[in-house]
Amino acid sequence: MTDRIGFIGLGIMGRPMARNLMKAGVPLTVWNRSRPGIDELAAEGASEGAGPADVASKSDIVITIVGDSPDVEEVALGPGGIVEGAHEALVHVDMTTMSPAVTRQIAERFGKAGVEMLDAPVSGGQQGAIDGTLSIMVGGKAEVLERCRPALAAMGRKITHCGPNGAGQTVKLCNQIAVSMINLGMCEALVFAAKNEIDPRVMIEAVSDGAARSWQMEKLAPRIVERDFAPGFKVAHQRKDLRLALEAAEAAGVELRGLALAHELFASLEAVGLGEEGTQALVKALERAAGVEVQ
């Protein structure tokens, strides 16, 4: 891989993703809004950038994975943003889950500055980021994706071109809609079993090889039984993604009632201080209503 890579956003996902690029032998320049991520990656051989514009000026491809749409706008187009470090053949690959509409607006602004953009949100959580097995959903020009594919392949196992700018974000929101519904069904099954005095471990074993088999039933349900709510993906982040999906659905004139319920439940968890727990904590909202605890 000959392209110089910049990486902005060294949080729970960004840090291991950047490490996998370094393992692939990529010259990496990094920046983050706080020091811990920068210090860790610099100690492992990355160069430190002075800010987004500086990272862009030293890179052929700049990858970002930050919090939400306003964060991407600031890093990309704000004062000292990527656009101020623009140069010929620069590509911005944004891997944040954010608004498809805002993605298209940023891509249009970049186009006027001669910068190509891919929206490339990911699925697979922290463990997928660590293992380099993320699923990456890409919007943008096919030829730009092919140029960036070696870098993406260092971080993910499945890379899918979904269409033009914004399409990657739209497909990621489809993923989040499906994931939240499966998570809700799994949690309801556990609460129903517990309320009926069925050992939840027996229920998990009984249904895991049938039509109810899912990643959530296999990976998250046993953690709920053990009362392990450490995050692979946080409640606050899931709630944010579902809000984005609801906003996009409203703009498209689509009513998604199940999604609205899941968003309401995740919002209720965040309201009582559980936003930093893993998404399996969804069960706690159901336990309160049922007067039972799965264990």
Catalytic residue among 58, 172, 240, 284, which?
Answer: 172
120-152 burial: b if 16+ Cβ within 10 Å, else e: bbbbbbbebbbebebbbbbbbbeebbebbebbb
Measure the CA–CA gap between 235 and 278, rounded to whole angstroms: 6
Q: What does the alpha-carbon distance between residue 168 and residue 139 come to, in Å, rounded to a whole number?
A: 4
Q: Based on the residue annotation, tell me whether 172 is a catalytic residue of this protein.
A: yes
3-state secondary structure 97-163: CCCHHHHHHHHHHHHHCCCEEEECCEECHHHHHHHCCEEEEEECCHHHHHHHHHHHHCCEEEEEEEE
> Distance between CA atoms of 169 and 83, rounded to whole angstroms?
21
Q: Which residues form the catalytic set? A: 172
